Structure 1
Amino acid sequence: MGLGTGTSFDNQFDLIERDLAEIEIRETNAKDKCIIWDLADSEKAYNSFLISQNTQSKTICDIAFHKSSQTGKYLPRVSFKRIAKNGDIQSTRSKDKVTIKFEDSADAVRFWKLIGFLFNYKDLVDIGEFEKSFQVVSKEAYVLEFTDKNELEKIQDLKELVGISDLNYNQLKTLTFENRKRNLKAFYYLLKNIRESHSRYREKYKIQPGEEHIWHHFLQSNDWILGLNVDLRFITDFLDEQKVGIENSSGSESPKVDILGISEFTTLIELKHTSADIFKASKSKGRANTWDFTTDFIEGISQCLGQKNELEKSFESKVFLDSDKKRLPKDGIETIDPKALLLIGNKKREFPINELDNTNFLKNKTLERFRRNNRNIDVLTFDELFERAYHIVFSRKLSKEWYWQEEDEIFREENDA
């Protein structure tokens, strides 16, 4: 491309008001220069970009292209300047480098649009080492890459994103709320098996058959639901499927607990499933004002009692391993008459008291009498656990009729009418 005598090169492209589609990078016919041209004005070229401005100053990016003898492409050299309203370049009295921050999200977006603009001319512009460190990708591509990372890599990425975004407490709280609301909705779907959620969940996470294994995986993955909600001391760590007794010489006869909760003192958690009934279909004759418990319920209580006893006997010599098979330090952890929780059934499904049925009232009272007079084992149903999780995520009260309400009503936003 030839250069006219009236061509103007010392111009500033306004990224605030204009679109990068209005300019392009071209090499001269002599192939000795690379210039940013205005598509609407053939005699106007740009050597800087306006990225941000306020009433006191503006931030610009100067850019020049230098041909590389190695690649034959043009290496962009950029410099950022903050210019005062009177035209002076702002500086500092100290020897420290001047830091130019794009604190406003719109300013940051404009900067990355400029970088993306340069990447569009990779056949002409030598991105060099910059391309090895940074890549302009779509949101969808980043999400796919993030999903494939392991848990530790995801945590590191999130820490970096939180750090550079400089989110305040309320913004971080909003992120936590959205994540927990999503987990709570998954809990609701599994509880009611909406749209065959059990099958979908099992297929997604490659879980072996059996509802107990689904709940085991879900509660282990969302440990805040148990750690913050049950009537126990705050639980800081959960160990999956731990043998709590002393094995015999053949390596057997040591009961295995579904989840071992670790804090200052240990907690045993035994999981059944939501479809397990607490009461028999009919009660024995001659027993007024009570109802018979099912074999599943009694065996669950018996399991918890056995695990408690075995853990007390074996704790001092027992070596506990975490999910990575690493030895768990037991400093500051004690086992004294360990607390135990049996999570079983669904009251709303098995004996809904909203139907005003005398049998359902009697079953509800029977369960409550058992719980209030039982010192060693806490019994909680899955629907009760959901209600407690709900009150951590949402500040409003959950209706007593929530189990039969529409999903949209249960999970409506706080500011909705």
Structure 2
Amino acid sequence: MITDFVLDDRPQVASLCSVTIIKKGDTFTPRIKLWKKDKKRAGEIPATQTVPETGNTRAVKALVDTKDVHENFWKVIHFLQGCTGLSTPGGSPQFVAGDEAQLAQLLTGQDRTMVLGAVRTAIGGGLTEEDIRLISNRKDQLKRFERLLTDPEYFRHEESLATTRGTEAVWQAFFEANQWIFGYGLNLIACESINDGKLERITTGANIFGGAGKRIDAIMRSKGLISSMLFCEIKTHDTELLSKTPYRVGVYQASKELGGGVAQVQKTVSKAQQFISREFLTHIYDDDGTPTGIEMSTTRPRQVVVIGSLREFTHNGHVNPEKMNSFELYRTSIQDVEIITFDELYERARFIVEDH
């Protein structure tokens, strides 16, 4: 920190202001010392002056330390700054916050419109209160996403609170509440739920296509003049991606859950396509049969399986190249199904919110 300030600098004497920051509890208060330094002598030696006094002269040290009266000293300064019509040198006082907590404290109690206007001025652009609420909520949900991935105790707590028990139910509820993660995270084309509804839908039987039923964890549509369909199966972050024992030396096969998830989404899409019709476009209906006005292309719907974590391939902080290679070879060989791990989905969501 800068603690000494030069107020005036002359050939023999410099006028200085020294500031010391004192911590008391959770607050910091400044102590100020005003003094003149004797530049002819080494070290911090105050200059002396001769002043007239009843016809004689005496030497005094030109030093004023306010450490014992600092509260009253600052009362005087604040009083002068608050006087209407009194111009204090240096212009308006500037407040500098060292972190978010200090900045938030400065803004507490201020008018919301004024605060929002100040933020717009600072960062530019047409920022709205809804924008701030949206960004804030997504940051909170991103932190929750990370805790669900990395904190087993927190995940078990969330599982105990879920309406439907089970690991998959926790993730299903989380993604239902945060559809933006899928909307931007699964491909470069923005996606959204069907007709602003739930992700999980019945796709065969009494279903959204008009007729009981195979469920899919998430069915979405791309955003555009005409939408394309996207089916997604959601497993868990702890689901194994590869078999524990190698099939041959250096060769690992896909786990039963991974192979089953791929087969499951493929079968769901196949049945849905057979049920819909042979038309290239299909109409979407509400549960009561009311047409929604949404048309979707049924030509080769995209298929996604969200499963496991790439941490499975690490040991003591290092990646097992044979396991990683086996996994990449498997998922790139599946032509119609995109396999995404939970940690990859988290990083994509993190990029949306934090841009890194």
- Shared fold by TM > 0.5? yes
Deviation at 1:367, TM superposition (A): 1.5
Distance 1:208 1:174, change over 3 A: same
1:17-416 superposed matches below 5 A: 168-169=126-127, 172-194=130-152, 196-204=153-161, 206-231=162-187, 233-238=189-194, 239-246=198-205, 254-263=213-222, 264-284=227-247, 287-316=248-277, 327=290, 329=292, 331-348=294-311, 350-352=312-314, 355-357=317-319, 360-396=320-356
Distance 1:330 1:387, change over 3 A: same
Q: Report the Cα distance in structure 2 between the residues aligned to 1:236 and 1:266, rounded to whole angstroms.
A: 10
Asked whether the equivalents of residues 283 and 295 of structure 2 are also in contact (C-alpha less than 8 Å), the reply is: no
Deviation at 1:368, TM superposition (A): 1.3
**Letter of the structure 1 residue corresponding to residue 235 of structure 2:** K
**Letter of the structure 2 residue corresponding to residue 197 of structure 1:** Y
Q: Report the Cα distance in structure 2 between the residues aligned to 1:212 and 1:385, rounded to whole angstroms.
A: 16
Q: Report the Cα distance in structure 1 between the residues aligned to 2:290 and 2:138, rounded to whole angstroms.
A: 30
Deviation at 1:280, TM superposition (A): 1.0
Q: Report the Cα distance in structure 2 between the residues aligned to 1:106 and 1:180, rounded to whole angstroms.
A: 24
Asked whether the equivalents of residues 305 and 337 of structure 2 are also in contact (C-alpha less than 8 Å), the reply is: yes
Distance 1:171 1:354, change over 3 A: farther
**Letter of the structure 2 residue corresponding to residue 283 of structure 1:** P
Deviation at 1:371, TM superposition (A): 2.4
- Equivalent residue of 1:182, what SS? helix
Give RMSD over aligned pairs: 3.3
Asked whether the equivalents of residues 270 and 342 of structure 1 are also in contact (C-alpha less than 8 Å), the reply is: yes
- Equivalent residue of 2:229, what SS? strand
Q: What percent of counterpart residues are identical?
A: 22
- Equivalent residue of 2:244, what SS? coil
**Corresponding residue pairs, total:** 226
Distance 1:363 1:106, change over 3 A: closer
Name stretches of at least 5 consecutive residues in structure 2 with no aligned partner: 1-83, 86-109, 115-124
Greater share of residues in strand: 2
Q: Report the Cα distance in structure 2 between the residues aligned to 1:212 and 1:180, rounded to whole angstroms.
A: 22
Distance 1:188 1:106, change over 3 A: closer
**Letter of the structure 2 residue corresponding to residue 301 of structure 1:** V
Q: Report the Cα distance in structure 2 between the residues aligned to 1:306 and 1:314, rounded to whole angstroms.
A: 12
Instruction: Summarize deviations over 1:2-59 as a string: whole Å, max 9, x none.
Output: xxxxxxxxxxxxxxxxxxxxxxxxxxxxxxxxxxxxxxxxxxxxxxxxxxxx99xxxx
Deviation at 1:258, TM superposition (A): 0.9
**Letter of the structure 1 residue corresponding to residue 157 of structure 2:** R
- Equivalent residue of 2:191, what SS? coil
**TM-score, normalised via structure 2 length:** 0.56
Q: Report the Cα distance in structure 1 between the residues aligned to 2:341 and 2:288, rounded to whole angstroms.
A: 31
Distance 1:297 1:108, change over 3 A: closer
Asked whether the equivalents of residues 233 and 265 of structure 2 are also in contact (C-alpha less than 8 Å), the reply is: yes
- Equivalent residue of 2:172, what SS? helix
**TM-score, normalised via structure 1 length:** 0.48
Q: Report the Cα distance in structure 1 between the residues aligned to 2:221 and 2:333, rounded to whole angstroms.
A: 26
Distance 1:266 1:344, change over 3 A: same
Q: Report the Cα distance in structure 2 between the residues aligned to 1:108 and 1:272, rounded to whole angstroms.
A: 44
Instruction: Summarize deviations over 1:81-106 as a string: whole Å, max 9, x none.
Output: xxxxxxxxxxxxxxxxxxxxxxxx65
